[in-house]
Amino acid sequence: MADVTDCAFRQIINKYGKPDAYPPRQALGRVFWTEFVSADGLAHEKGREKLLIDLRFSKDEHPIVAQIFGSKEENMRKAAELCRELGFDGIDINMGCPDKAIEKQGCGSGMIKDPENAKAMIRAVREGAQELPVSVKTRIGYNKNEINTWIRGLLQENLAMLTVHLRTRKEMSDVPARWDLMTDIIKLRDEISPETLIIGNGDVLDIDDGRKKCKETGCDGVMLGRAIFGNPWLFAEKIPTLEEKLKVAVEHTHLFQKLLGKVKNFDIMKKHFKAYVNGFDGAKELRVKLMETKNAEEVEEIISNFLKTINAHKSSRDTKKS
């Protein structure tokens, strides 16, 4: 997710989302993906330095996959080589992003319209990645269900993994994800490339829902995006208290400012505030205040005052009861 799954948020997830952080919990396998980065930019020295910020990660984030997009073979090969040198555990090609600016470059979901070039991109990345696994994230089609042509063609490339967002480009996220179609994809996989892992994406609500979808459809795993937004405890299957949630929002903000404050706009954090601050009394008013902040110190002050107020009200109610 652009301007969401940066190194600051991933480190917060890694800290609070470890399955063993709140025992006893069943061990869960999790793999991080970076934000997707332009291969054209990575292939050229002038644009590379700025984009490398989006590929920054810590040793605790392994296994982690670099996600790239592009439509030029040489640049995709160079970008894959760079990602390998940076120490990533795999390289994923985004062939599903519906952003019009990305599509105009023949990238993202625009690749669905040009399956032969899509295959060329996979081969170029594989050449640059060498021993690293290469995967693709895509959709079931552009304007219609193209599983038997588009998905079939991708599976013929013997990918390590194929993540399928179960909607078309035309549908965006306006309709429910078509999980009923996953069994068709699994049948194709078994026929064409049995070793390819199939990951489902779209409308996965939480870990239990992900497990259920895997069991019902036969897919090997699920990719979560929106479900973890504002909920770094997701993989640990812990329900945080309001105070825990708001204190982690402050911690996340300070980490963002420390790691990315000099190169990223602070307003990016306001996307996270909308996710952290909802579903409780006073949430709307608190969000309004947080939307006006310009740094982590202001965020900490506002949330600290909010928590002091609600704790004082709670203490007052408890005194009256006694």
Which residue has tokens 């704790």? 311
* Whole-angstrom distance, CA of residue 155 vs CA of residue 270: 39
- Following DSSP, what letter does each residue of 199-255 receive, concatenated? EEESS--SHHHHHHHHHHH--SEEE-SGGGTT-TTGGGT----HHHHHHHHHHHHHH
Whether residue 204 contacts residue 229, with contact meaning beta carbons closer than 8 Å, is answered with no
97 is catalytic: yes
Structure tokens at 68: 């790239």
Q: Which helix (H) or strand (E) holds 42?
A: helix 39-42
Strand order through the sheet with 32-38: 32-38, 64-69, 90-95, 134-141, 161-168, 197-201, 221-223
* Residue partners of 57: CB distance under 8 A and separation at least 6: 7, 10, 32, 34, 64, 88
* Residue partners of 14: CB distance under 8 A and separation at least 6: 32, 58, 60, 61
Catalytic residue among 7, 83, 97, 219: 97
Residues noted as catalytic: 97
